[in-house]
Chain A
Amino acid sequence: MKPAEIGRLLTATGYIADAELSTLVWMGLTIDRPLLLEGEAGVGKTAIAQAVATALKRPLFRLQCHESLDLNQAVYEWNYSRQLLEIRLREAEQKGLAGLRDDLFSKEFLLQRPLMQAITSEQPAVLLIDEIDRADEAFEAYLLEALGEYQISVPELGTIRATTHPFVVLTSNGTRDLSDALRRRCLYHYMDYPSQPREIEIVKALVPEANLELVQQAVSFVQKLRKQDLEKTPGIAETLDWIRVLCAMGQTSIPDDPALILASLSSLLKTRSDQWQMGTELVAKLQSDSKVGIDVGVAGQSK
């Protein structure tokens, strides 16, 4: 499989990847290395894992990281309540307790969490470790071992080795600096906001019902908006939401009335201060700029 082919498969799933990202996915699959994707929220880091899973027809296992994530939530946990129930049942049935210990720590009582599910999956899987920067450093260190050897040690059962290597995608929003060791084990890709033509392509693919003129103007507007000093810059997901809202309002182009635009901007601006600083004057300016941009054919290349 070539990088271009990966790009085509991803496009078929509705994910418009640029050449760099397709190449990186190809490399990850070819040299069997995890992908580390960094970038702002809403630029499609998580979606790429879902797209790869769909494109390659692989099961997707997702591990959402958070501050108090521990191995019990990420790798495996014994089903304590079921184990206790089993002990009580055996006692009540007055069956012999011989072999109970072995039975209690068998795979039957093991709750597999995403990391183990991905490693034990018979079919090569896609493992998405989302927002790894939210997990603590101890978990990061554990990941190094698991992703390096593709094996997990369960003291009661022994070492569980991967039958197939999952394609691992790690995403980070940069809230914490990841360790060099983890970075070096991964292929790195920084996902920036898409260029205007690419964003138009994405919107056209995902909101096909939207009028082309509306798409071009709205994307141009969002591109200009991203250059403003915002607390939370709108990502692709926000652009899609906004265009869907405008479509639902029956618009075929950006409304001429800034007040109407302001009313729909809550799908783009997600903090109070951002909404507060966006007045009708600024909206009118961005609106006129985006229309000029279209007139001179900035987005026309994407047709």
Chain B
Amino acid sequence: MATTAPISQPAIQIRGFASYLRDHGFLIGLAELDAMLHVSLLINIEQSRLLKTCWKGIVCSSSGQWRKYPDLFEAYWYPHKVRGSSKTSGVERKGKTLKQLVQDMHASMEQQGGKQTDASIGLNFEGQGEDSASNQKSQGGASRTDPLHKDFKQWLPEEIHQLESYITPLEQRLKRKLIRRWRKSHLAKRIDLPKSMRQGMATGGEIIKLQMKKRSDILPRIYVLVDVSKSMESHAPFFLRIARALCQMLHARVFVFHTRLAEISSLMKNNSGRVQEKINAVTFGFGGGTKIASNMESFLKIYAKRALGRKDIVYILSDGYDTDPAEQTRDAIKAIRNRGAALYWLHPTKDIPRSEAIELSKQYINEFMSVDNLKSLEKLADLGHQTFH
């Protein structure tokens, strides 16, 4: 879809905003960008603030993004109102306010005889991929405060293959878990009456053979929480790589935390080489310290309020150093276990972390596992052997 039509300035700025949101984990493709531009043209100049609401509906796809959007919008379009550092992705925005931008779009449309086409408003993405976006990053905070110095790209294919080979047995084991209605007798069959009648049509309406319903495997939901605090600096890239494999193979939801918690599942699903940079953009400005307890509470209240149940699994990848009170950590971990989910603690040290928080919470953690090298993941499928059966 190459086009030579000039790209208007407002469209470039909206594209910049979309790129900025993408760096914060929003899923914005051509269709979303098209809808953003479409809506911009429908709104009166006087109501340019209405765009905020309209775009919110288009770009958000989860409650976390819904909550994050107002801050990102203000930070991008009204940076002078935001105290301190407002840019986390490094995407630069030059010039106009949102109101001016809408005005320009309308003017541009009028100049072209009211025929604003997709091409003219810059929907040609050739050359606007990640490379060109990265060209715009002159002084991204992420690259300057990179806590995860080893890049994802440094992994060799055979290492990735080895990692995946450790997760495959886990996948097999999880599939064997039967849903409740089949648990009493997994051999019991259930008649599929509509299907039987459909098949019966071939024999003049006589049902010769009963058709049975097939058993459906429902995988438990898996949540992976990766500590990316300063103390985990050297281990976080490895742990994130594990999280990524779990996300891609078992559809796990992945979160990173130190002072705050952020979901990065969407970033983990892509095989982009810039995942590292994007994660840094998401976590930039989190501040110092590790608040395991507060993050567990946020996880439970915001992300897993209703979606954490008996057969689900939570992996915490952390060294256990916590600035929250140890009792609070214990209560947060207990609350997760009270939902019936299994909780496994993967630590980078050979021995179980000896922090006060871990000592107090030990009884509520199903199992600990040391993950200090790739081979140690061999035992991942054996974690919670009893839970699976």
Contact = CB atoms under 8 A, between A and B. Distances in A.
Interface string B34-76: 0100110010000000100110111011110111000000000
Interface in A7-41: 19-20, 23-24, 27, 30-31, 33, 35-36, 38-40
A36 B251 CA distance: 21
Contact of B29 (A33, A35, A184): A184
Interface in B252-279: 253, 266, 269
Given A3-B50, A177-B221, A31 B60 contact: no
Contacts of A174: 63, 305-307
A72 B269 CA distance: 33
29 contacts: A20-B53, A23-B54, A24-B57, A27-B39, A30-B39, A31-B35, A36-B61, A39-B63, A40-B305, A40-B306, A80-B197, A81-B197, A83-B201, A87-B204, A88-B205, A174-B63, A175-B307, A176-B221, A176-B307, A177-B221, A177-B251, A177-B307, A180-B266, A183-B27, A184-B31, A188-B57, A188-B60, A188-B65, A188-B66
A189 interface: yes
Contact of A80 (B29, B62, B194): B194
A189 B65 CA distance: 10
B132 interface: no
B149 interface: no
Given A78-B198, A80-B198, 11 more contacts: A3-B50, A23-B57, A40-B306, A84-B197, A87-B205, A174-B305, A183-B61, A184-B31, A188-B56, A190-B63, A190-B66
Nearest to A232: B306
A177 B253 contact: yes
B307 A24 contact: no
B215 to A, nearest CB: 12
A253 interface: no
Contacts of B56: 20, 188
A25 to B, nearest CB: 10
Nearest to A87: B205
A136 interface: yes
A83 B216 CA distance: 30
B50 A23 contact: yes
B221 A24 contact: no
B32 interface: yes
A78 B204 CA distance: 15
Interface in A42-90: 72, 77-78, 80-81, 83-84, 87-88
Given A173-B306, A175-B307, A72 B57 contact: no
6 nearest A-B residue pairs (beta carbon): A183-B61, A190-B66, A187-B57, A80-B197, A84-B205, A190-B63
Contacts of B205: 83-84, 87-88
Interface string B202-214: 0011000000000
Nearest to B196: A80
Nearest to B64: A190
A81 B198 CA distance: 10
Nearest to A70: B194
Contacts of A84: 197, 205
Contact of B61 (A23, A35, A80, A188): A188
Interface residues of B, number: 36
Nearest to B204: A87
A27 B307 CA distance: 29
B61 A33 contact: no
Interface of A: 3, 19-20, 23-24, 27, 30-31, 33, 35-36, 38-40, 72, 77-78, 80-81, 83-84, 87-88, 136, 173-177, 180, 183-185, 187-190
B57 A184 contact: no
Nearest to A184: B27
A173 B305 CA distance: 10
A190 B70 CA distance: 13
A213 B9 CA distance: 55
A251 to B, nearest CB: 33
Contacts of B305: 40, 174
Nearest to A41: B306
Contacts of B27: 180, 183-184
Contacts of B50: 3, 23
A189 B57 contact: yes
Contacts of B61: 36, 180, 183-184, 188
B307 A183 contact: no
A173 B306 CA distance: 8
Contacts of A183: 27, 61-62
A78 B53 CA distance: 44
A190 B57 CA distance: 9
B53 A23 contact: yes
Contacts of B194: 72, 77, 80
A20 B52 CA distance: 10
Contacts of A187: 57-58
B57 A27 contact: yes
Interface string B8-44: 0000000000000000000101011001001100100
A56 to B, nearest CB: 19
A84 B204 CA distance: 8
A22 to B, nearest CB: 9
A38 B63 CA distance: 7
A80 B31 CA distance: 42
A27 B66 contact: no
A185 B58 CA distance: 9
B348 to A, nearest CB: 28
- Most central of B58, B197, B216 by chain A CB within 10 Å: B58
Nearest to B38: A31
B39 A190 contact: no
Q: By CB atoms of chain B within 10 A, which of A77, A176, A184 has the most?
A: A184
Nearest to A188: B60
Nearest to A189: B57
Given A180-B61, A188-B60, A27 B306 contact: no
